Structure 1
Amino acid sequence: MIADYFQFHLNLLKVASNNLLRHAPFNQDELPENEAEFQQQLLQLVADMEQQRGDYIESGQQILARLVRHYPDLVPLVPRDLFWLFGGELLHFMPDDELDIFQQLDELRHEAEAAGEAFNYEQVRARLLDLK
């Protein structure tokens, strides 16, 4: 079950990374130093999370906080789930009702794991977020 949760978020990060890198300013042939550094850090975060290497949670916090501060127009390309996963300062960029939903989702997941019950994270997430 933990593997499913992890894989779900890794997939979200990969999609977000691909989407971000297809948009300006990251889709240019020659990137200014700041954008090139951000791009490299984002790709490294994906690689570290894939390999479960290093402190990818802290790196994720730093990279997404930098995204919010320097590229706010690109923030909608990142699923809110990643803000919740990486936590820290990123939680300040989420409204209370969103925080409540992700908290409830985590509690339900932990309860199911503690009881040894199956838990379909994506299905419960879709229901709580009222996704069709």
Structure 2
Amino acid sequence: MANPYIDYNLALLAHLRGILIAMGESEQVSEESHEMFVERFDDLLMRLPDVPEERHLGQDLICQVFHRYPQVAHMVPRDLLWFFGGDCLHYMPDEEIAIFQVLEERRYEAERNDEPFDWNREKQILSLSGQEPGAAH
């Protein structure tokens, strides 16, 4: 069964992978360790659709991106920090975490009601509405 939320985050991971590949091609990183890191990244991309509860692998890799590739840390999609949670949340300010909590609540509510939920669209609506996190919706 397809999971739009997992698919959305897989697309973000694929985008991040492209950025990392470009880093290697521009020879800005050590080739050997970079190659091994990308292999681990590819393993995550392959396993995540079938075993989404293995997010701890993603937590580790995303945190390593911040340490290994600080020059691209600002390009890491914020949604991935929330998706993987754990130590990744250390890279998010409290205000941003509060916004993602509201999104998560809306996603769970839609799932409970068997309604479709477009994470990215809801995020845009929330930011356009200027809704304060935690306010009644």
TM-score interval (norm. to shorter) = 0.7 to 0.9
Deviations along 1:14-50, whole A, 9 cap, x unmatched?
Answer: 1111122112xx224x953322221211121112224
Poorly superposed stretches of 4+, deviation over 6 Å: none
Cα separation, 2, equivalents of 1:98 and 1:68: 18
Indicate whether 1:47 and 2:29 are aligned. Answer: no
Cα separation, 1, equivalents of 2:119 and 2:74: 22
TM-score (norm 2): 0.80
Matched-pair identity in %: 32
Q: Which residue of 29, 53, 57 corresponds with 2:55?
A: 57
Alpha-carbon distance change, 42 to 107 in structure 1, aligned in 2, over 3 angstroms: same
Deviation of 1:92 (Å)? 0.7
User: What secondary structure sits across from 1:109 in the alignment?
Assistant: helix
> What residue is the counterpart of 2:11 in the other structure?
11
Deviation of 1:53 (Å)? 4.0
Aligned CA-pair RMSD: 2.3
> What residue is the counterpart of 1:90 in the other structure?
88
Cα separation, 1, equivalents of 2:80 and 2:127: 15
Cα separation, 1, equivalents of 2:54 and 2:43: 9
Deviation of 1:56 (Å)? 3.8
> What residue is the counterpart of 1:101 in the other structure?
99
Deviation of 1:74 (Å)? 1.1
Query: Contact 1:42/1:63 (CA < 8 Å) preserved in 2?
Result: yes
**How many residues were matched structurally?**
126
Which shows bigger deviation, 91-100 or 117-126?
A: 117-126
**Could you list the runs of 5+ residues in structure 2 that have no partner in the other structure?**
129-137
Cα separation, 1, equivalents of 2:53 and 2:36: 18
